């Protein structure tokens, strides 16, 4: 159906050993913040709440053990996507594109029709994105924005198009002056990575049936 690759999250032994000490101290400059993006805080509590929601949803799944095993570094993944949301929004602003609430609803409705209902959509996003049911609309919105940014930039499915997209997102990330609490790793503007974590959100974006493509 949708093409995605599972991204492995590999931490060095040094980082694994240092993490408990860093977690206890937090960030000296921004205590309680997991990251600062565009001058706005992403709280550690926000990351932890999303992890809890996803773990609760995973625990209710028939594939609970496998889902939990496949998302061992869920906290870093959650922070990564919270940062990416802001990067994508900045790139969308720069490209002059928007996504309306109706577009999100229409896209989700089309996907539910395609896969067989709301519960199956929630299960799919939980398995493939680690997203709790309450986060699905946010993921759909991000995917729609990514598609619209690609269209606005004239970036086709080719190396030149991907380079153009990467440049746009790198510029957006640099403009946001992203700082990350060391317990989660370090952000790389050029590679759009958080530590060793880089999900394929540019090239593997969900190709959902969409309506109102040009609307805002």
The pLDDT tens digits for 70-115 are: 888 899 999 999 999 999 999 999 999 999 999 999 999 999 999 9
Q: Is the pLDDT of residue 25 over 60?
A: no
Structure tokens at 81: 């996507």
If one counts every other C-beta atom within 10 angstroms of the C-beta of residue 61, the result is 15
pLDDT at 125: 94
pLDDT of residue 72: 80
What per-residue confidence (pLDDT) applies to 177? 97
Ranking 49-53, 149-153, 173-177, 198-202 by mean pLDDT, the lowest is: 198-202
pLDDT band at 149 (very low <50, low <70, confident <90, very high): very high
Q: For 9-18, what is the mean pLDDT?
A: 26
φ, ψ of residue 197 to 5 degrees: the values are -100, 120
Q: What pLDDT does 156 receive? A: 74
Statement: residue 48 has pLDDT above 90: yes
Quick check: 185 and 195 in contact, CB under 8 A? Answer: yes
The rounded percent of the chain whose pLDDT value lies above 70 is 77
Give all strands of the β-sheet with 33-37 in edge-to-edge order. Answer: 40-43, 33-37, 179-180
Interatomic CA distance for residues 5 and 195, integer angstroms: 19
**What confidence category does residue 207 fall into, taking pLDDT thresholds of 50, 70 and 90?**
very low
Q: According to DSSP H, which parts of 60-135 are helical?
A: 64-70, 74-95, 101-115, 118-129
Least confident interval from 25-29, 82-86, 171-175:
25-29
Mean of the per-residue pLDDT values for the chain? Answer: 81
pLDDT reading at 7 higher than 80? no
Alpha carbon distance 160, 138 (integer Å) = 28
3 state SS of 57:
helix
Compute the average pLDDT of residues 32-53: 96
Which of 73, 84, 103 has its CA nearest to residue 178?
A: 84
């Amino acid at each position: 159906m949708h093409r995605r690759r599972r991204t492995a999250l590999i931490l060095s032994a040094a980082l694994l050993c240092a993490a408990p000490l860093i977690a206890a101290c937090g960030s000296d400059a921004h205590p309680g913040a997991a990251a600062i993006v565009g001058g706005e805080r992403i709280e550690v509590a926000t990351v932890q709440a999303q992890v809890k929601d996803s773990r609760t949803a995973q625990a209710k799944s028939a594939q609970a053990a496998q889902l939990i095993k496949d998302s061992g570094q869920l906290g870093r993944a959650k922070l990564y996507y919270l940062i990416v949301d802001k990067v994508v929004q900045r790139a969308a602003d720069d490209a002059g594109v928007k996504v309306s609430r109706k577009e999100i609803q229409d896209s989700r409705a089309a996907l539910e029709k395609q896969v067989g209902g709301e519960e199956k959509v929630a299960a799919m996003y939980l398995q493939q994105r680690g997203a709790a049911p309450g986060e699905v609309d946010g993921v759909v919105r991000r995917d729609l924005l990514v598609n619209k940014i690609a269209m606005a930039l004239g970036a086709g499915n080719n190396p030149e198009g991907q380079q153009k997209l990467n440049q746009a997102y790198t510029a957006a990330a640099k403009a946001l002056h992203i700082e990350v609490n060391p317990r989660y790793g370090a952000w790389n503007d050029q590679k759009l990575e958080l530590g060793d974590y880089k999900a394929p959100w540019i090239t593997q974006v969900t190709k959902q049936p969409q309506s109102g493509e040009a609307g805002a």
